[in-house]
Every structure is written in structure tokens, then in C-alpha cells.
Structure 1
Amino acid sequence: MRTFIALELPDATRDALSRLQDRLRAGRQIDEDDLHVTLSFLGEVDLPRLTDLDLDLQALRVPHPAVEIAGLATFGTDPPRSVHAAVRATPELVHLQAKVAAVVRRAGIALPHRRFVPHVTLARFSRSAPPEELARLGRFLSAHGDFRLDPVMVPEITLFRSRLDADGAIYEVLERYPI
């Protein structure tokens, strides 16, 4: 089962990001209900490992992190793979992500060691994105690159299942864990 652990955003934050997406008019936009901050992408995980992980996530206790949207950016070049709202890497958020990664590894799930770059993906782009779409993206970033939202507290983490579909990924909540 393809899974990941994330912070679900409050409705007001998702609404504000959705209104921002309306101005983008480029790429394959992420549905408003699916906007989140990924803490750990687990990939394919079998049920016994998920059971072990579930027990450890139930016991996880860390301070509630604030999620603060602070600017826009892209991943990838020639062309960009995605555009995202950057999330400020507060000490609480970085600590939470490190704890989640440790719990995942303790459950026997291998994770790559990479730097945590907190973000909310707004849209994805194909490798063959037409030049006019990339031009719209450039104008969008110039006009809205300083986009900011007030910090919001997130009191739980969520384990998601991700199923790939012709239209993109479909996310299903498997469990929520108060932190």
C-alpha cells in the first residue's frame, strides 16, 4: 500500500491556497481537499509494518507545530516539476518531522536521508509543458511570490494512503494521530 504521513491543513488555510491556485491557471492543480504538508513519504508498505507504525504513531508526543506559509517556489528546472507554497521550517516543525522519520524507521520502513523542505504542492507540470503554460507560471510567481498566511496550529498528524489514477493521486485517510 502506497502511504505517507502529513499535516492536514485547516479549512481556512486550504481555502486561501485554493483561491491562490485560481490565479495560477497552469499545470495540473492539486485539489483543495488534498493540500497538505508531507512529513514522510513511505512508499509501498505492507500491512504488518503499518500495524507496527500505527502503534508507534499513537505514542508520539511532541509540541504542536505551527504551519506558516511564507512564499512560493518551484521544484525542478527545465521545466519545473511543481510549484508550491513554502512552509517556514520552524524548530517545532523540523523536530516533528525528525520524530516521525525516526518512528517510521523504527517500524522497519526504509526512508531516504534527505533534507526536509516543508511545502504545500499547488500544481504539477509535465516534462512537455508548453511554453505558454511556463510563461503563465513565471507571471504567477512574479505576481504572488511573496504570498503569506498567518501561522496555524496543527494538532494531529495523518497517515494517508495514496492511489495513483490517470488524473493523479487519490488520497485516503487511514488514521489520524493527536500529537
Structure 2
Amino acid sequence: MARLFFALPADNLADAIIRWRDARPWPGQAVPAANLHLTLAFLGEADEKQTRELMQQAAKLHCPPLTIELDACGWFARAKAAWIGPEQWPNELSVFARELQRLGSRLGLGNGEQHYHPHVTLSRKATEAPQDSPAPRFTLLAREFCLYQSVSSEQGVRYEPLARWPLRKRIHP
């Protein structure tokens, strides 16, 4: 079984985001730069057959490339996760995230959560919200999305991309 999720990679911003985070007090346990991503849909534990089906179906999906301003800080109290994310985001992002959640749901995956708030988790086990002054100012140019696998080891958790697909508009005949 593999622990899976869909996300937009933040590779091109990771170093700058980590420098910004580490220059201020930040609650919780820091997430490594290599693990930064903007979550689209959490899927949970999937077997090989479900994983293959996810990959086949995800390859057929369409979403135009997106520009997402990461300009706010926040905290999910229940998950104890401190994050940065957009104050406002393109509707296409919400539609695409919902489509990916439905794809997982059809295969018996996901946590059934309907509320979507895009974010990049910067720390875990955070017992309080981060200070949001000054606010972050990063622009995520999303040109692809990934299916990631969460891999636990003695060195901690790392997120490995299993597949990548370009974000592209639907072409109407």
C-alpha cells in the first residue's frame, strides 16, 4: 500500500520559501525544502491497482496552467500544520482539486473532505498559528501536477513523485 496525494510541485520556489520561513519565528517542526508542494487532493492508502487507475485517469484531466500568489499565512489547528497559501486563488484551481478528489473517491480513496483551501505546509506539529507579519510574497507558476507517494524512513518522511502531467487547457473541436 502507498500513501498518495495529488499536488502542484513548488520546486522552483522551495529555497526562497525556506529562507523566508527560517528568517522568522515559525511554530512546529520544519518541513524540508524537498517536500514543499501545494496540495490538491489527499488520497490516503492505495494499492497497486488503484495507483495504476489513478495514473491512467489523471493523465486524461485538463486544467490550464495557473499563477497562484502565496500571500497569506495560516494554521490548521486539527492537523497542527502551519502554512502559506493564497488569500484568493483562481476558480480553476478549486475545480481541478474537486475533480481530483472525485477521481480518488470513485476508487475508494480520500478522506471525503469537501472544503478545499490551497496551501504549502511549512511546519508540522505546530501548536499555534505563525506570525503573518510581514506576509509572504511568492508566485507559484503551476505548469504541471504530480501524484506523490509519502515514504517514511528513519530520516523522516519524504514525498516522491510517482507521475507528472502538464497542466493544459481542454481543446474543443
TM-score range, shorter chain: 0.7 to 0.9
Q: Which residue among 163, 166, 178 is the counterpart of 2:151?
A: 163
Sequence identity of aligned pairs in percent? 26
When the two structures are aligned, how many residues end up with a matched partner? 164
Structure 2: segments with no counterpart, 5+ residues? 168-173
1:46 has 2:35 as partner: no
1:49-96: CA deviation from partner (whole Å, max 9, x where unpaired): 11111111111112122221011111117xx81211022332121121
Moved more, 112-121 or 82-91: 82-91
Secondary structure in structure 2 of the residue aligned to 1:95: helix
Aligned twin of 1:82: 81
Q: Which amino acid aligns with 2:41?
A: S
Alpha-carbon distance in structure 1 between the residues aligned to 2:143 and 2:125: 32
Structure-1-length-normalised TM-score: 0.80
Structure 1: segments with no counterpart, 5+ residues? 128-133
1:56 has 2:69 as partner: no
Question: What displacement does 1:152 show?
Answer: 3.1
Question: What displacement does 1:166 show?
Answer: 4.8
Q: 1:97 to 1:126 in 2, by over 3 A?
A: closer
Q: Which amino acid aligns with 1:43?
A: G
If you compute each CA radius of gyration, which structure gives the higher value, 1 or 2?
Answer: 1
Cα pair 1:66 1:93 within 8 Å, conserved: no
Structure-2-length-normalised TM-score: 0.83
Secondary structure in structure 2 of the residue aligned to 1:68: strand
Aligned twin of 2:97: 97
Structure 1 outlier segments of 4+, above 3 Å? 165-168
1:148 has 2:137 as partner: yes
Q: 1:26 to 1:62 in 2, by over 3 A?
A: closer
Q: Which amino acid aligns with 1:91?
A: N
Q: Which amino acid aligns with 1:31?
A: P
Alpha-carbon distance in structure 2 between the residues aligned to 1:36 and 1:53: 19
Alpha-carbon distance in structure 2 between the residues aligned to 1:96 and 1:15: 27
Question: What displacement does 1:167 show?
Answer: 5.0
Cα pair 2:152 2:158 within 8 Å, conserved: yes
Secondary structure in structure 2 of the residue aligned to 1:99: helix
Alpha-carbon distance in structure 2 between the residues aligned to 1:46 and 1:107: 10
